[in-house]
Structure 1
Amino acid sequence: MKTFRLVGLVLMLCSAGTLMAQEVIRTEHGVKLEVPGGTFRCEVQFYTPSIVRVVKYPQAEMPEEKSLAVVLAPEEVKFNVKVADDVVTLKSSELTVTLDKQGGTVAFADKQGAPLLAEQGAPSFKPCENEVDKGYYRVRQAFRLDKEEAIYGIGQLQTGKMNQRNQQKYLIQSNLEDSSPFFQSIKGYGLYWDNYSPTTFTDNTGGTSFDFEVGACVNYYFMYGGNADGVVAEMRELTGQVPMFPLWTYGYWQSKERYKSQAEVVDVVRKYRELGVPLDGIIQDWQYWGHNYLWNAMDFTNPLYPNPKQMLDDVHAMNAHMSISIWSSFGPATKPYRELAPKGLLYDFKTWPASGLDNWPPDPEYPSGVKVYDAYSPEARDIYWKYLGDGIFKYGMDTWWMDSTDPDHLDFKPSDLDQKTYLGSFRKVRNAYPLMAVGGVYEHQRAVTSDKRVFILTRSGFVGQQRYGSNVWSGDVGSSWENLRKQVPAGLNFSLCGMPHWNCDIGGFFAGQYNKSWNDGTAPKNPLYQELYVRWLQFGTFTPMMRSHGADTPREIYQFGKKGEPVYDAIEKMIRLRYSLLPYIYSTSWEVTHRQFTIMRALMMDFPADKNVWDMGDEYMFGKAFLVAPVLEAQYTSEKEVKVDEQSGWNRDNAGKAKEDVAGVDFTQKKSASVYLPEGTAWYDFWTNEKLEGGQEITCETSLDLIPLYIKAGSIVPLGPDVQYATEKTWDALTLCVYPGADGSFILYEDEFDNYNYEKGAYTEIPMAWDESSRRLTIGARKGSYPGMLESRKFTVRMPDGKEKTVNYTGKKVSVKL
Structure 2
Amino acid sequence: MKNILTVILITFISISCSKRNWEAGSNGIILYPSGAKTNAAKAILVSPVDEEIIKVSASATKTFSTEKSLIVLPDTKPVEFEVKEEKDKLIVSTSKTKIEISKTTGEIQFSDENGNLLLEEKQGGGKSLKEMEVDGVEGYIVQQVFESSEDEAIYGLGQHQADEINYKGKNEELFQYNTKVSVPFIVSTKNYGLLWDNYSFSRFGDPRPYGQIDQFKLFNANGNEGSLTATYIDNTNNDHIFTTRDESTIDYENLETIEKFPEGFHFNHAKITWEGELQPEESGIFRFLLYYAGYTKIWIDGQLMADKWRTAWNPSVAKFQWDMKAGKRYKLKLEWIPDGGVSYIGLKALSPVPANQQDDISFFSEMGDQIDYYFMKGNSIDEVISKYRKLTGKAQVMPKWAMGFWQSRERYKTQDELINTLKEFRKRHIPIDNIVQDWSYWPVDKWGSHEFEKARFPDPVGMIKTIHDNNAKILISVWPKFYIGTEHYNEFEKKGWIYKQAVKDSIRDWIYPGYPGSFYDAYNEEARKLFWEQIDEHLYEKGIDAWWLDATEPDILSNASIEYRKQLMNPTALGPSTKYFNAFALMNAKGIYEGQREKNPNDRVFILTRSGFAGMQRYGTTTWSGDIGTCWEDFKAQIPAGINFSMSGLPYWTMDIGGFSVQKKFEQATEGSKEMDEWRELNTRWYQFGAFVPLFRVHGQFPYREIWNLAPESHPAYKSMLYYNKLRYRLMPYIYSLTGAVYHNDYTIMRGLAMDFPFDKRVQNIGDEYMFGPSLLVCPVYEYKARKRDVYFPNNGGWFNLYTGEYYAGGQKVNTEAPYERMPLFVREGSIIPVGPEIEYTSQKKDAPIDIYVYAGQDASFNLYEDEGTNYDYEKGEFSTISFNYSEKEKVLTILSREGKFDGMIPTRVFRIKVITRNKPLPFLSEDGVAKTVTYEGKEIKIQLL
Q: What TM-score do the two structures reach when normalised by structure 1?
A: 0.91
1:534 matched to 2:703? The reply is no
Q: In structure 1, how many angstroms separate the alpha carbons of the residues matched to 2:879 and 2:675?
A: 46
CA distance in 2, matches of 1:66, 1:368: 38
Mean CA deviation greater in 30-39 or 677-686: 30-39
1:414 corresponds, among 559, 563, 576, to 563
Does residue 628 in structure 1 map to residue 635 in structure 2? no
1:376 — aligned with what?
Answer: 523
Asked whether the 8 Å contact 1:514–1:529 carries over to 2, the reply is no
Aligned to 2:812: 696
The one-letter code of the counterpart of 2:542 is Y
Cα shift at 1:691: 1.6
State the partner residue of 1:32: 30
Matched, 1:613 2:766: no
CA contact (8 A) 1:522 1:553 kept: no
Q: Aligned residue for 2:156?
A: 153
Residue-by-residue CA offset, 1:151-194 (whole Å, 9 max, x unaligned)? 11111111111001223322111111111211111100001111
Query: What is the Cα deviation at residue 728 of structure 1?
Result: 1.3
| Matched residue SS, 2:65 | coil
* AA matched with 1:412: S
Secondary structure class of the residue paired with 2:17: strand
Aligned residue in 1 for 2:174: 171
The whole-number CA distance in structure 2 between the counterparts of 1:603 and 1:563 is 36
Q: Structure 1 residues 357, 222: CA separation in 2 closer, same or farther (over 3 Å shift)? A: closer
Shift of 1:353: 12
Maintained 8 Å contact 2:134/2:576: no
1:197 corresponds to 2:347: no
Q: Cα offset for 1:622?
A: 0.3
Q: Which runs of 5+ in 2 are unaligned?
A: 1-7, 207-354, 921-928
Q: Does 1:209 align with 2:362?
A: yes
Deviation at 1:357, TM superposition (A): 6.5
CA change 1:758–1:547 in 2 (3 A) is same
The match for 1:602 is 752
Secondary structure of the residue aligned to 1:424 is: coil
Which residue is equivalent to 2:140? 137
Aligned CA distance change for structure 1 residues 484 and 523 (closer, same or farther; 3 Å):
farther
Q: Is 2:532 the counterpart of 1:385?
A: yes
Q: Count how many residue pairs are aligned between Structure 1 and Structure 2.
A: 765
TM-score where L is the length of structure 2: 0.79
Q: SS state of the match for residue 205, structure 2?
A: strand
Matched with 1:545 is 695
The percentage of aligned residue pairs carrying the same residue is 38
Q: Check the 8 A contact 2:443/2:451 in 1, yes or no.
A: no
- Output aligned runs, 1:170-319, within 5 Å: 170-203=173-206, 205-206=356-357, 207-291=360-444, 293-301=445-453, 303-319=455-471
| d(CA) in 2 for partners of 1:724, 1:680 | 36
| Paired residue type of 2:436 | I
Q: 2:486 aligns with which of 326, 331, 334?
A: 334
**Helix, strand or coil for the counterpart of 2:48?**
strand
Structure 1, unmatched stretches of 5+, are 12-20, 360-365, 637-670
1:809 aligns with 2:809: no
Q: What SS does structure 2 have at the residue aligned with 1:10?
A: coil
- The alpha carbon displacement at 1:525 in A equals 7.8
Shift, 1:523, TM fit: 10
Please list the CA deviations of residues 682-719 of structure 1 after superposition, one character each: whole Å capped at 9, or x if unmatched: 11110101122100111222211111111111111011
Q: 1:685 aligns with which of 792, 801, 805?
A: 801
Counterpart for residue 434 of structure 1: 585
Query: Residue 562 of structure 1: CA displacement?
Result: 2.8
Residue 577, structure 1, aligned to residue 757, structure 2:
no
Q: 2:822 matched to 1:706?
A: yes
The alignment's C-alpha RMSD in Å is 2.0
User: Any conservation in 1 of the 2:35–2:105 contact (CA below 8 Å)?
Assistant: no
Equivalent residue, structure 2, for 1:651: none
Task: Identify the residue that residue 488 of structure 1 maps to in structure 2.
Answer: 639
Distance 1:792 1:374 in 2: 52
Equivalent residues of 1:781, 1:811 under 8 A apart: yes
Within 5 Å, give how 1:57-76 maps onto structure 2. Answer: 57-76=59-78
Is the 1:459–1:475 Cα contact (8 Å) retained in structure 2? yes
User: Which residue is 1:716 aligned to?
Assistant: 832
Show CA shifts across 1:545-604 (max 9, x none).
100000121000111233232111011000000000000000111111001110000000
Q: More deviation in 85-94 or 253-262? A: 85-94
Letter in structure 2 aligned against 1:327: W
1:642 alignment partner in structure 2: none
Deviation at 1:334, TM superposition (A): 2.4
| Bigger mean CA deviation after superposition, 248-257 or 554-563 | 554-563
* 1:60-104 deviation per Cα after TM superposition (whole angstroms, max 9, x unaligned): 321111111101415322222111111101111111101111111
Cα distance change, pair 733–71 in 1 and its aligned pair in 2 (3 A): same
- Residues 176, 611 of structure 2: 8 Å contact kept: yes
Asked if structure 2 preserves the Cα contact closer than 8 Å seen for 1:732 and 1:792, the reply is no
Of 476-485 and 159-168, deviating more is: 159-168
Q: CA deviation at 1:148?
A: 3.4
**Cα deviation code 1:407-462 (max 9, x no counterpart):** 11422351552511111011111111111001110010000112321000110111
Which residues in structure 2 correspond to 1:707-746 (within 5 Å)? 707-746=823-862
- Distance of aligned partners of 1:80 and 1:677 in 2 relative to their CA distance in 1, 3 Å threshold: same
Question: In the superposition, relative to structure 1, how do residues 358 and 58 fare at CA in structure 2: closer, same or farther (>3 Å)?
Answer: closer
Cα 1:571/1:71, change in 2 over 3 Å: same
Map Cα deviations across residues 178-233 of structure 1 (whole Å, 9 max, x no partner): 11211111100001111101112215632322111110001110001122101100
Q: Residues 645-660 of structure 1 correspond to what in structure 2 (within 5 A)?
A: none
Task: Give the superposition deviation at 1:138.
Answer: 0.9
Q: Residues 468-502 of structure 1, C-alpha deviation per residue, up to 9 Å, x if partnerless?
A: 00000001001111111110111111111110000
Q: Structure 2 residue aligned with 1:77, among 56, 76, 79?
A: 79
Larger mean Cα displacement after TM superposition, 724-733 or 479-488:
724-733
Q: C-alpha distance in 1, partners of 2:400/2:698?
A: 18
Structure 2 match to 1:663 = none
Contact 1:749 1:764 in 2 (8 A): yes
Q: Residues 407 and 433 of structure 1 are in contact (CA less than 8 Å); yes or no, is this contact kept in structure 2?
A: yes
Match of 1:791 among 892, 907, 910: 907
2:737 aligns with 587
- Give the distance between the partners of 2:839 and 2:486, measured in 1 at CA: 42
For 2:761, the aligned partner's letter is: K
Q: What are the within-5 Å matches in structure 2 for residues 460-499 of structure 1?
A: 460-499=611-650
Match of 1:515, SS state, is helix
SS in structure 2 opposite 1:423?
coil
